Structures are given as C-alpha cells and as structure tokens.
A and B are shown apart, each in its own frame.
Chain A
Amino acid sequence: MSAPTLSPTTATGTAATTRRRPRWRASTLAVVIPSALVLLTLLICALFAEALSPYDPLQQSLMDALQGPSAKHWLGTDDLGRDVLSRMIHGSRIAVIAAAEATGLAVLIGVPIGLFIGYRGGWWDWITMRAVEAIVSIPGIMVAIVIIAILGSGLHKAMFALGILYSTAFLRLARSVVLTEREEVYVKSARVIGASPRRILIRHIFLNIAPPLIVQVTLTVGAVLLAEAGLSFVGIGVQPPQASWGTMLNTAAAYMELNAFLAVPPGLAIVVTVLAVNLLGDVLRDSIGRGVRLPAATPPRPRSAAIARKGTAPLPAREDDALRVDGLEVMVSPKGGDPVPVVTDMSFRIAKGETLGLVGESGSGKTVTGLALMGLIGAGGRITAGQVTLDGTDLLQLPPSGLEKARGTDIAMVFQDPTTSLNPAYTVGSQISEVLRIKQGLSRRAAWDRTVELIDRVGIPRPAERARAYPHELSGGMAQRIAIARALSCGPKLLIADEPTTALDVTVQQEILDLFRDLQDEMGMAMLFVTHDLAVAADICDRIAVMYCGEVVETAPVEQLFRDPRHPYTAGLLSAMPHGASGTPPLPVIPGAVPTPGHWPTGCRFAPRCAHAAPGCALPVDLTPGQTTTNAERLTRCIRATDLTLEAAQ
C-alpha cells in the first residue's frame, strides 16, 4: 500500500512566521483603513485641540445652555452653555493621555515583574501569582476604586490606578513567555552542551514576547478608554471642569430629560474609538498570530466523464437479500468548489445473516459508503444516484423523518473510535437506555433493565455497575462493547461496522471480532464490515468487496478472493499482506499513489498503476461477472479479468 506522505514538521520557528510580511486582503483593508483613520483623527484632535476647537471648552455662557445642534454650535451646548464640539475635541486629548499613561504604566510594571518571576520561579513566583489571582478575583472596577481611594481622584491618579490594574495581564503574559521559552529545545540543548542558556533565553524571549505584547496593548488601550469613561462618569476619574468624554456623559445623565442629545457625541466617540482599537488589534492578532494565511487550494474540477456512463447492470434479486445497493453515487462539494464524486457506480448486496467486507485503502470511499447508507454524509455531501434497498424499502426515497425512524431500528452503525463515539457527558447506560426509550417506547425502568442485560450480553462483567460509568472511565475495548450493545439494542436488520477494531489493541481486536460473530449468529442481522485490514476481513467476512477510487473493483467470497484474485489491484493488495513468517522477502508494493477524488482517470482508475494495463483500459469499465463464469457472486471491474493469471496469496 502507498506510504502516507509525511508533511515535513516545521521547526518551532514562531519567530520565523511572525516576521513574514502579512499579505493584506480586501476584507482586512476594509477594517484597517477606517480604523486607522479614526485613530488618526483622534490623534490630530488631541495634538491640535486648541487650533481645531471653535470655542474655549471651559468658556461658559449660561444664556446658551442646553442647546441642540445649530450652525453656531455644531453639537450644541451643555448645562453651562459650553460648546460640546470643543469639549469633545479637548476630550480626545484626555483619551489619548489616559490610554498612553495607563497602558504604558501597565507594561512598565507588568512586563519586568513577569519576566523576573518567570525566570526566578520558586517563592517569588508563588507569592506574586497568588497576589495576582487575588486581584483578578475582585471586579476590576473595584480594584481601581480602591487604588483611587488611596491616591485620590483626578486624571493621572486614576490612570495610575488603571495601570496597576491592567499590569496583571502583562505580568502573566511575560511570565508565560519565559516559562514556555525555558522549556524550548534550543534552551535545553544550550544547557546540555554547557553554554549559558541565559543569553539565548533573553534573545528568544524578546523575539517571542513582541507579538502577544502588541496584541495585549491594543486590548488594554480599549479597556482603559472604557474604564476611564466609567470612572469619570461616576465622578472619581477626571474631575470637572476638565473635559473628558466620561465627565461629559456624567453631565448628560443629569440633564437627560432636558437635552437627551448631550449623551450622543461623547458616547459615540468612545464606541468608535474603542471599536477602531479593538478591530486593529484583531487584525494584528490574526496577522501576527497565525503568520501568512495559505491561499485556498484551487478546487479540483470534476471529471464529467467519470459520471456520464451507464454503469453496472442491476444485480439479480435474491430471496434472502437484506440489503441491496445499486449504482450508488455520492458527490462531495469542497468548500467553495464544484462537487466531486467520491463514490460512483457502487453496487453490492448482503444476505440475511451474511457479512460483507468492504475493503480498501483510506480515501477509497468505504466510510462514505457506510455513512451514505445511513443518510449521514453530512453537509457538503450528496447522494446523486442509486438505490439502497433494505428489506424491500428504498431508503433513499424515504423522507427525512422516515430515515430517522429507520436509523437505530432497522439499520445501525458502530464507529471506529469507541472513545469518541460515546457522549462524554452521559453515562454509558443512559446512552443505551435513551435509544430503547425513544425507539422502542420502553419505560425508564424497563429500558434500564434491558440496558443492563445488553451490557451483560456484550461480555462486560458487573453490568449494572458499569452502566453507571462514564465513557472516559472505560477502556477502549469495553467502550466498543458498549457501542455495539447500543447499536444492536433495537435489533437492526443491518449493522454497519466502520473499522470497529482499528483503534483497539491487537489483543482486544480478536475479542471484539468474536463478539461480532457471536451476536450475528444470535440475532441474524446482515453486516457490512468496513476495514482496510484484509486479515481482519478474512477472519470475519463471508464475502469481500474490494474498493478502489470510489468504486468496487472486485467482489468474491473470501476463499475465492484469496485463492484466485481476478483484479490486479486485489492481487496487489494480497501480495502486500505480511504473512507472519520472518525472513520472507520484502513485501511488494503497488507502484504510484492512490489518486485523490477529482483526479481519477476517466477509464479504469487503476490503469496508471497497473502492470497489465492495455489500450482498452482507457475506457470506463463496468463490474461484470466476466465471460467464463456465470457465478453472480464473483464480479470484477477489469477488462482483462479472464485472460490474466494473477498470483494468489500464499
């Protein structure tokens, strides 16, 4: 089988990615440009407040108090007749000073302390972090209020208080950067070769602290602006008559009934400014944190030729068929791309009490087939052709409610990883009894009793006790037994098992396979056993369907398939199977790689890798019984099936 291509693991290099120049997208620019303009306007207002203001912000004129917007006063006047626009412009200066002071102080206090305790560790670290936790557990505004109680109110003192408050964030950030870097490989290796790790540590800390620091600064600036407004609003921040957006809102609150418009300009100014800072921070975080975004892969174009063909003739009906699948086709639409076929011309049948193995490499479409039968291929996937007949009913013709009814009752599924297919939030027993109550209408009590019986039946000791366990308290093998018990709880006619032993320990695998066999003997359901492991398939299946590139290339009873493979791909798979004995020659490998959906050849999909390919292989091939045999159990998708003599497995 083809070896998976390992993506090269990139070296730790956060520094390398961060220094790559981000590529701006149009949507990013639509955020950056207005935000930058807002902040630029703010800065200009702050710097040239005197020149820009039409009036002195403190000049009172009681005759003109509480006016609405007019040509004389664009934004109206406040309770003392002061020009609101002029006060807004001067307020922007306060906002800039406040943000700079508090943020700067927070960085100056937080970063050195964080670096120090991160580097020293021990008691210094412990005590400081407990104090930080204590401060963080108090609502921030209360911390600021307490500090203002000590220092007194006023712009600079209040900003000092906010600086102390927000320093905790920078402290934690610096500390965590140091702690991460200390454990990095290059620091450790410097220690091993006897070099002083300190210099390399300092260099890397300064490289790595910059990006999160910048992001944290933007977050803090936004928070400071809001906090300053809040503190000034309640009267313990900036003091009147000095114009700050917060104090202006204080005035607005007092005169709300007389001039509601007073609240609008300062409030909007705060919102727009904080929004601009936050949005810029988001963009910075995205471009710094994730490096350059990869351009979206161009979606592969579907090969229309692969779809447009008549397909395999319907299989003759049989008395004991439990499931018949005829010409099933599944298309998947990749994000923003055209639909691509992942399963085509899929036909097989399973008799009552029979087990069909669906074998193929990953990506061959076996799991999708299983999910399609359940009607669970999810968003982006669509069944575009075919019939799925379960006990006489075409499942694909059922309305969603009918399919929902059939699931669990008539058709059930066991998934690959038992530890993730059970809900971690509920006990395993409740997940089985839920199905019994809903699907079979049992009472709570009866459902629970039946659940314990089922858990006992799948071979779990002390079932009543285990029913109350949560999934994470069970081993993988036990969890899979639970999943099997749940799938079989309503006695389905068809059980789909999707690689049910792959995630388990080898020793447990055999036990689970034995359990499947026992339960099938007892309950007589048909089973579709999806696996990539031919040895497992040989163990449990009656017949095998080999899949390649979304279609079945050969089906045969297990014995015949192993003894006499007709399709070159099957033969290749068989010869790639290890046979246990040591000293055997290296396993032959099928040359080339499995093409991905959307890149399938138009003719025989295996032809490019096939040693026996002939010119006729360039045309689509159907699944046929071949010319020499009339045995409907043996179907092959190969034009040379009859004239080739393929080497069988030993």
Chain B
Amino acid sequence: MHGIVKRFPGVIANAGVDFDLLPGEVHALLGENGAGKTTLMNVLYGLYRPDAGEIWLRGRRVAFSSPREAIGQGLGMVHQHFMLVKPFTVAENIVLGQRSPREPLAHDMRQTHRYLRSLSGQYGLAIDPAAPVWTLSVGEQQRVEILKALYRGAEVLILDEPTAVLTPQEVDDLLAILRRLAGEGKAIVFISHKLGEVLGVSDRITVLRDGKVVETLPAQAADEHGLARRMVGREVLLRVSKGPAQPGEVRLAVQNLSAVNDRGLPALRGVSLEVRTGEILGIAGVAGNGQTELEEVITGLRRATSGTVTICGHTATNRSPTAIGALGLAHIPSDRYAMGMLRYFTIAENLVLQRVGQAPFTQRGWLRKDIIRQEAQRLTAAFDVRTPSVENPARTLSGGNAQKMILARELARQPKVLLAAQPTRGLDVSAIEYVHRTLIAQRDSGVAILLISTELDEILALSDRIAVMYEGQIVGVMDGPGADIHQIGLMMAGSKRSSL
C-alpha cells in the first residue's frame, strides 16, 4: 500500500500511509484508537475507497470496490466484532455467500463438514463444523472466522484487535495459530494496541499515529517503552505507580448474592465479597460471566433473587438506584453511552444529573441555569474534559472526554464507594492513564473501589485484591501485588479454583 489517504467529514483518518506485507510474516499494525489502523485495513479490504494512494498485490495494482473482490484476490479479514450468523452452524457460516457446486441447491453438508474438519486440523484450529455458532465460546468463534478466511483461499489474513475479547490462555493459543499460519507462508496483519502481544508474535511492527506512519521496525529491535512512546508521541507511564493500600472498615459488602439474566437464566450464583475503605478490589473474568449482572444488582438496576448488598452498614438490596446513590455509591457504568449519559443533553446538564433537584441547582422549583453552568465549568476544568462549551451536547465528546465527564459527575458527589465497570473500555493510552490515576487518587483518599474489568492488564495494574469471576461465581480471591497471571487465566477459563 502506497501513500494511502482517506478522509472522513472533519477528519483525515489516513494521511499518506505506506504499508507492505511479505508472505510468511506477521506484521503488526500498532496505534491508539483513532490512529487509522482499522481504516487502513478497511481500505485494503474494499470496505472504503481511498481518496488517494495505490494498492499493489503480488506485483499488480488493484482497487477493490467491495469485500467480495478482495476475498476473490486472496484477502481475508477477521473483524473485531465477529461477522457470524449465530443460529447457523459453523459450516453454514463458512459457505455463506459462496457459490454452491450444485447451485441453486445448498452445499452438500456432509462433504463440507469432512473438508472443513481436515482444514481445521491442518492449522490446529480444533473446530467442529456441525456445531451451531451460538454454542461456541468467543475464542472458538474467532477460530471460525479464521477458518472461514482460509476456506475462501486467503493468503493474506487481517486480524483487527483479535485479542481484546480473549482470556490469556486463548490469547496464547491464537498467537500460536498465527505463527503456524505464517509458517505455512500466509501473510498476516495483526492490528493491536497491546504492546506485549505485538512484541510476542510479530516479525515487523508498523506504528501509526494520527493517520501517519511513525516507523516500521523489526520486532527484535523494539521494546515496550519505545513502542509506547512512538504510539502516543510522548513518554507514558504504562503502569501508574501506587503505594500500598491502607484498607480500613468494610464499606461495601455483598453476601450470597444471586440474580438471573435477561433470559431468566441464573447469572449470579451466591456471590460474596467485601470492599474496604482505601482499597481497590478488582473483579477479573471473561465478559459474560455475570459481571454486568453484578454491576446492575449493586446499583439497583436489577433485582437480586437472594442475598444482600450492604453499603456503609445500610441495606441496599433491591432498593432504587436513587436510594442506593444516597447511601454513598457512585457508579461508572460499563456501557458509557447507554447508561452513563444522556447523549442529547448538554454537558452541563449531564454533569448535575443526579443533583439537579437539590439546592443550589433548583431553587423554589426553578432551575438555576447560571449556577448549573458555573458548576459544570468548575468540573470540566478540574477533570480536564476538553470541550469548546459546556452547553454542547454530550454526544460531541470523544470517548476519553465522555468518560472524564462521567468521572467528574460521579466524584463530585464525594462517594464512599465507587463501582467502576470497564472504566477504560475503548479509551486510548493517555485517557487510560488519566482514569487510572484518578481511581488510585480516590483510593488513597479513602474511597472503597470495586473495579470490574475484562482487561486483565487493568485489573493487575490497579487492584489491591483480585477476585476472579466465572459463571456467576467468585472462583478465587488473591492479593493484587505479585498475583500470578497464569493462575488467574486458568480461573477465568473455569479450570481452576482456589479456596476463598
């Protein structure tokens, strides 16, 4: 790819990017969110047309106008969100959109299954072609995507943030599969912002920042700090420093809590935990093991079927979110846009959302816009929310600034307990650093923090104690400093328990 330029209204996603890929190599594309990694690959894959630049494939200039053409030329892409039809079997998903040899009759499934089994075996993917996709784990679904690309004759495989959803063991398996594929002569693009994985698997690394290539370098010549500096453009602390915890009395106690999910199936099965003032308890686990339900029950958004939640000595079980908030709980929701803010309200309105009915924001039944505005300006300045005006709608904020706005609102209430769920999901390295610093500062000032995160790095960086959640239960608790990542990984996968 040569001199690729892609503009979107108001932004230049790619500003003259050069990128090359050799057969048999894993080439990592590293950059922060919004650096243009995914855009570049979507241009290659025919999803977007470049505004300028050339793409050459095996010595020929190409211009794909659709993914179909790209697939026909031997490209395969594994998207961040899997492109699978859940009720269909693996085999049906793989042949979807392909010409059947007996068109218009569908493929002979017995024959297809046999072929897919051998293809899956050849690359060590271990996938049963007859299984319906909804029965597969996330890691298996990802391997179905890889198998799909291989079935379609992919020589070039693009993986967009493939490890974001995996357990550490699944990540290891995936990286091994990628090395094996490269060994067979496939060319692989590995898009990521996780430095460790990139260094572990790639032959070469290209760092993107603000739509431009910072550098392309061999993996042997790179180290984490150098890559992070190139990625962000300044020195960053990969792990914020923190002193030892000074835990005090119990602020949040959860006893034997059970609840069901939206489908009426058990999601929490007797969860018990305690968070003390001045400590961060991190809940590790693969997404979908009850973390969302735990978050919702504690904040009063979902009914507990049994068990209790106690905040600062007061019963909070199945009370309204307002009542629970009044007990001293602040909440940074996992779904920032759906639960954390009103996107079409102004930033100022969002910032006083819970307090708007109280003085001084409401006086004798009237809203005091001027006082709300002053408070909003104070908070945006204190929490570094970057916006031209607090009267702009909240949806105009970037991910990092939106999260800072939510932090500002929640911390302005001077909470006793802070529930932070996925607090850095989708944020870039600088914003993550900010959120982490803030959480630790809150801990040091005596707030009890329950951190729920599927990012194991985040759990390890912040937690004073770590609880691992699997299928609605806490399967192990350990001290944060010096925790064994391998052991946590095994617990996350459900294959190991430790006594509590």
**Do chains A and B interact in one complex?**
no
Chain B interface residues (CB < 8 Å from chain A): none
Give chain A's interface residues, CB within 8 Å of chain B.
none
